[in-house]
A and B are shown apart, each in its own frame.
Chain A
Amino acid sequence: MSTQPAFPNTIFSPALAARFDRLVTLYPVKRSAMVPMLLYAQDEVGYLSEAVIGEVAARLGVSELDVRNVISYYSLLRTKPVGKYHVQVCTNISCMLRGGNELLEHCRRKLNVENKGVTPDGVFSLEEVECIGACSWAPAVQVNYDFHENLTPSSMDKVLAEYRAKAQNGAK
């Protein structure tokens, strides 16, 4: 088998590009690979930039409009950059009953950003989300792919402080 990449001028890392080369061969219809591709691309690039949309459309042989239609359907796909740590606060019924709204309000004040806003230093962004499937441990917050459960405003402060420290260490 040839290992020649299908897209020599890809904007993705070689590993991801290779993954995409294979991904489009796995489905009876190429466009079925769209959602996984977008999720992987979002993880690597941070958001779905024009360049990402362009390359995904080209890889699938669909129009950019088709890709945008799908992106705009799913709230977990985003076309704007988020902070290094994306804080997603659930306010659906279980979390709401156990203080999700208060938690969101707390984060808003603490980080000084509005819903879907990014802090000026780019470390945090905040979003109110629908159920993240952690009802048993409500109220729950998802930061990137990590869950933090049974939170109170003070334990939330600890979580945020941890991430801030991580960001500072990482920056050094």
Chain B
Amino acid sequence: MADVTFTVDGRKLTAPAGTLLIEACRAHGIEIPAFCYYPGLSLQAACRMCVVRLEKVPKLQTACTTPVAEGMVVTTESPEIAQARKATIELLLGNHPLDCPVCDAGGECELQDMTFRYGAHESKFVEIKQHREEQQWSPVVFFDRPRCILCYRCVRVCGEGMDVWALGIQNRGAGSVIAPNKQDHLECEECGMCIDICPVGALTSGPYRYKTRPWEMSHVGTVCAHCGDGCKTTLGVRRANDGMEIVRGDNRDKSGINGDFLCIKGRYGFDFANREDRLTQPLIRQENGEFKAVSWFEAIEYAGKRLREIRDAKGGASIGVIGSNRTTNEEAYLLQKFARTVLGTNNVDHHRTADYPAFAAALNGKKEASLRDFNAAKAILLLGNDPTEQHPGLAWQIRTSVRLHGARLYAANHELIKLRRQATSFLHIREGDYAALIGYLAGDDKALESNGVARAFREAIRKEESLLIVFGAEFRGREIEALTKFGASLSNVKFACLGDYANSRGAADMGLYPDLLPGYVPVSAAVQLGEEYGALPARAGLDLVQMFDTAERGELAALYVVAANPVSRYGIDPASLRNTFVIAQDMFMTETARLANVILPAANLYEKSGTVTNTFGDLQLVKKAADRGGVRTDFELIVRLATAMGADVKKLVPFGKQGVRADFGQARGAQSGEADRHGVWLAAHHLEPKLSPFDPFAIFDEIQRLVPAYDVPRLDLLAGNDQHLHSGLVQIANAGARRDLVLPSNDTLFSSGTLGRYSRTLGSVMEARKPAETAAD
């Protein structure tokens, strides 16, 4: 819309016509206080805090409901306005318990801040305050009625934002009270958005209440360890006897790709880190089958020695390595490099939750959608998957986009997924019909039973001027190829492939595959990556299933499992590993760790630094928040294991002044001959060599150097901004002929693979106990 010019406090401002005065002022750095107003939610105008003086209007007006107009003259601060706001606060405090010293919100309470600012420290009221006992609505949501100032933010965010509508308002006037949907308790998605958005301490979080004061915590913004959306979560950590414990997860800085959103996992699912039954001492299995706690030195020397013996005696091909969906990119990269260059094997794999290699091949220059793209999308085509359960961050973005920007959602699914409520058009298809659907969309009328709904669905999609196509694990190999081919026939299309875990995408990008190196370079073309991988066996190694088959036959001499639980996930018979030397690196005594010969206690994603990539190819910085005595990062453990095996760590992790010297590949010119490739790259990027082999950024340097898609601006990344990968730079041949080993985890909002089992809060909510259709492993 056209811009209008108006005056606020003597300043001439410009904003698009129709902008709300409160927003226009905020955009220009003029803060107008408000309790009930919240950007993106419907207007309530209930709190009267945002009153301003408009010239020629007899009474004070609410800035949150007044659109700016040409020539408008506004005063936002004056003795009159301050008095009005002070009176409002005085009324709000009339029945407010003023239990700030014990209130969870004390110190970060908007009512407290406003009282401080407007000085409503005296009250004319002498009436006795009406007290009501606090109520527990669910294991994670508590309600203290007297603290509530009736701003209705919680009701709106639950309904409009989450499309859950679990909170309502009962009674009226001063007797109004926020009410949960099941009379005395809540049945909802337990996301905790209502708590986050509450300006006071009326809604408080079960796991956090009365634990600490906000100013006693350090707040670290990092990336959630659970699903593949990569939401930013801010962890409040505090000193504990054995390190730094996580006390709270929330979304206090809303700068992440998730905007205002966090689900139950991001907000409460951190508690696995604080569990008492975490492994904190290295264990070695003795002759009698019992585990014995040993020193780190002993455990690593022992594991390294055995691995070296096995490699030297039986060859690298007798060793298997299984990586993780939840370690950082640096760790995933280092693990496969360790396997390939130190152990000398291509037997590397991980639990695959989406067919990323096929996606990378199919993209081939086409555009990949960032999670941020969904916020401003005009049209979205959602094929398969149930984002509400499996990608709650994406579901939030889609709902927001539909609600605020009028985006059109086209969804096709074999289940009646909840997002169909936001869909312009929903197509209910049979489970096996996804490939046929693509054929139908591409113009083959016979592919799908053609009816009016399907035809209208197809017509509408074809008319869209731009489209985000997002698909679940129902699509693999050739179906992804067909889908991207169809997409390319439309205009302005971007694609997104949905995988399950925090760094499933990174594990794939970093080459935790038996046949693919980092950046999806086939092992047969290892020389493309230069000296670092040059001398690899050109044959693909064993995939995860083959590794266990080989172990069953007694031919897998050693297995190194990092932060994964394949024994449970793939239902492996424990006896099949009886002749295999197993090293398990994990937080807990999982089904896999129980079968290990050596267990190395590892740190989790909240206890390390590095980067992760979400399923949309958004690269984000992971910051170390918590700490636990007795554990080490997977990165450090891999480096130490390599050292114990006698490997040259400098070749594994480029650190120090002396890098890798190798031919640049040019026969002539300035870059011919031997040179320190890493050193040259660092200099060209204005970076210095890292000084420690335990510095994950030493490996990140190498990733950025060798994997073109990851060559994103370092400064932006370090500043905590998500960086979208250059996915189009990946160029590999069609991978449709590869064996399909994708095993979607089908997690719900309340499960998160093996990790989720160790979160008490996730298991404590009533909704988690509903019989699941698919068992989480």
Q: Could you say which residues of chain A place their CB within 8 Å of the CB of B180?
A: 65
A68 contacts the other chain (Cβ, under 8 Å)?
Answer: yes
A9 contacts the other chain (Cβ, under 8 Å)?
Answer: no
A68–B179 contact, CB under 8 A?
Answer: yes
A65–B166 contact, CB under 8 A?
Answer: yes
Q: Could you say which residues of chain B place their CB within 8 Å of the CB of A64?
A: 181
* In the bound complex, CA of A65 to CA of B183 (Å): 8
Chain B residues close to A by CB (< 8 Å): 165-172, 179-181, 183
CB distance from B214 to the nearest CB of A (A): 32
A68–B165 contact, CB under 8 A?
Answer: no
B165–A65 contact, CB under 8 A?
Answer: yes
CB distance from B171 to the nearest CB of A (A): 5
* In the bound complex, CA of A73 to CA of B176 (Å): 9
Q: Which residue of A lies closest to B167 (CB)?
A: A65
B171–A72 contact, CB under 8 A?
Answer: yes
A63 contacts the other chain (Cβ, under 8 Å)?
Answer: yes
- Can you identify 11 A-B contacts, CB atoms within 8 angstroms? A63-B165, A63-B168, A63-B181, A65-B165, A65-B168, A65-B179, A68-B168, A68-B179, A69-B170, A72-B170, A72-B171
B181–A69 contact, CB under 8 A?
Answer: no
Q: Could you say which residues of chain B place their CB within 8 Å of the CB of A72?
A: 170-172
CB distance from A64 to the nearest CB of B (A): 7
Q: Could you say which residues of chain B place their CB within 8 Å of the CB of A130?
A: none
A73–B179 contact, CB under 8 A?
Answer: no
Q: Which residue of A lies closest to B173 (CB)?
A: A73
Q: Could you say which residues of chain B place their CB within 8 Å of the CB of A157?
A: none
* In the bound complex, CA of A72 to CA of B176 (Å): 9
6 additional contacts (CB under 8 A) given A68-B183, A73-B170: A65-B166, A65-B179, A68-B179, A69-B179, A72-B170, A72-B172
* In the bound complex, CA of A63 to CA of B183 (Å): 12
Q: Could you say which residues of chain B place their CB within 8 Å of the CB of A63?
A: 165, 168, 181
Interface flags for A54-70 (1: CB within 8 Å of B; 0: not) read 00000000011110110
Q: Could you say which residues of chain A place their CB within 8 Å of the CB of B179?
A: 65, 68-69
* In the bound complex, CA of A72 to CA of B177 (Å): 10
CB distance from B138 to the nearest CB of A (A): 15
Q: Could you say which residues of chain A place their CB within 8 Å of the CB of B171?
A: 72-73
Q: Which residue of B lies closest to A68 (CB)?
A: B170
* In the bound complex, CA of A86 to CA of B180 (Å): 31
Q: Which residue of A lies closest to B165 (CB)?
A: A63
* In the bound complex, CA of A73 to CA of B173 (Å): 9
Q: Could you say which residues of chain B place their CB within 8 Å of the CB of A65?
A: 165-168, 179-181
| 5 closest residue pairs by CB, A with B | A72-B170, A65-B181, A69-B168, A65-B168, A72-B171
Q: Which residue of A lies closest to B177 (CB)?
A: A72
Q: Which residue of A lies closest to B164 (CB)?
A: A63
* In the bound complex, CA of A69 to CA of B172 (Å): 9
* In the bound complex, CA of A63 to CA of B168 (Å): 10
CB distance from A49 to the nearest CB of B (A): 14
* In the bound complex, CA of A109 to CA of B696 (Å): 83
* In the bound complex, CA of A72 to CA of B168 (Å): 11
* In the bound complex, CA of A66 to CA of B155 (Å): 11
* In the bound complex, CA of A73 to CA of B165 (Å): 18
Q: Could you say which residues of chain A place their CB within 8 Å of the CB of B183?
A: 68
Q: Could you say which residues of chain A place their CB within 8 Å of the CB of B168?
A: 63, 65-66, 68-69
* In the bound complex, CA of A66 to CA of B165 (Å): 9
Instruction: List A residues 63-103 near B (Cβ within 8 Å).
Output: 63-66, 68-69, 72-73
Q: Which residue of B lies closest to A62 (CB)?
A: B165
CB distance from A150 to the nearest CB of B (A): 32
* In the bound complex, CA of A172 to CA of B165 (Å): 49
* In the bound complex, CA of A65 to CA of B165 (Å): 9
Q: Could you say which residues of chain B place their CB within 8 Å of the CB of A68?
A: 168, 170, 179, 183
Q: Could you say which residues of chain B place their CB within 8 Å of the CB of A73?
A: 170-172
* In the bound complex, CA of A65 to CA of B164 (Å): 12
Q: Which residue of B lies closest to A75 (CB)?
A: B172
Q: Which residue of B lies closest to A66 (CB)?
A: B168
Q: Which residue of A lies closest to B170 (CB)?
A: A72
Q: Which residue of B lies closest to A50 (CB)?
A: B183
A69–B169 contact, CB under 8 A?
Answer: yes
Please indicate which of the listed interface residues A63, A65, A69, A72 has the most CB atoms of chain B within 10 Å of its own CB. A65
Q: Could you say which residues of chain B place their CB within 8 Å of the CB of A69?
A: 168-170, 179
* In the bound complex, CA of A68 to CA of B165 (Å): 13
Q: Which residue of B lies closest to A72 (CB)?
A: B170
* In the bound complex, CA of A73 to CA of B179 (Å): 13
* In the bound complex, CA of A78 to CA of B284 (Å): 69
* In the bound complex, CA of A108 to CA of B168 (Å): 35
Please indicate which of the listed interface residues B167, B170, B171 has the most CB atoms of chain A within 10 Å of its own CB. B170
Please indicate which of the listed interface residues B167, B169, B180 has the most CB atoms of chain A within 10 Å of its own CB. B169
CB distance from A133 to the nearest CB of B (A): 20
CB distance from A129 to the nearest CB of B (A): 16
Q: Could you say which residues of chain A place their CB within 8 Å of the CB of B169?
A: 69
* In the bound complex, CA of A72 to CA of B183 (Å): 12
Q: Could you say which residues of chain A place their CB within 8 Å of the CB of B172?
A: 72-73
Q: Which residue of B lies closest to A73 (CB)?
A: B172
* In the bound complex, CA of A63 to CA of B170 (Å): 14
Q: Could you say which residues of chain A place their CB within 8 Å of the CB of B181?
A: 63-65
Q: Could you say which residues of chain B place their CB within 8 Å of the CB of A66?
A: 165, 168
* In the bound complex, CA of A82 to CA of B323 (Å): 68
* In the bound complex, CA of A157 to CA of B181 (Å): 44
CB distance from B155 to the nearest CB of A (A): 9
* In the bound complex, CA of A72 to CA of B175 (Å): 10
Q: Could you say which residues of chain A place their CB within 8 Å of the CB of B165?
A: 63, 65-66
Q: Could you say which residues of chain A place their CB within 8 Å of the CB of B170?
A: 68-69, 72-73
* In the bound complex, CA of A64 to CA of B166 (Å): 10
* In the bound complex, CA of A63 to CA of B181 (Å): 8
CB distance from A80 to the nearest CB of B (A): 14
* In the bound complex, CA of A65 to CA of B184 (Å): 11
CB distance from B553 to the nearest CB of A (A): 57
* In the bound complex, CA of A63 to CA of B171 (Å): 17
* In the bound complex, CA of A58 to CA of B171 (Å): 22
Instruction: List A residues 131-165 near B (Cβ within 8 Å).
Output: none
Q: Which residue of B lies closest to A69 (CB)?
A: B168
CB distance from B163 to the nearest CB of A (A): 12
* In the bound complex, CA of A69 to CA of B167 (Å): 10
* In the bound complex, CA of A64 to CA of B165 (Å): 11
CB distance from A103 to the nearest CB of B (A): 26
* In the bound complex, CA of A68 to CA of B179 (Å): 9
* In the bound complex, CA of A105 to CA of B271 (Å): 60
CB distance from B443 to the nearest CB of A (A): 37
Q: Could you say which residues of chain A place their CB within 8 Å of the CB of B167?
A: 65
Please indicate which of the listed interface residues A64, A66, A69, A73 has the most CB atoms of chain B within 10 Å of its own CB. A69
* In the bound complex, CA of A69 to CA of B165 (Å): 12
* In the bound complex, CA of A66 to CA of B348 (Å): 54
CB distance from B337 to the nearest CB of A (A): 54
* In the bound complex, CA of A68 to CA of B180 (Å): 11
* In the bound complex, CA of A115 to CA of B179 (Å): 25
* In the bound complex, CA of A154 to CA of B388 (Å): 66
Q: Which residue of B lies closest to A64 (CB)?
A: B181
Instruction: List A residues 16-71 near B (Cβ within 8 Å).
Output: 63-66, 68-69
CB distance from A166 to the nearest CB of B (A): 34
* In the bound complex, CA of A144 to CA of B170 (Å): 25
* In the bound complex, CA of A64 to CA of B170 (Å): 12
CB distance from B581 to the nearest CB of A (A): 57
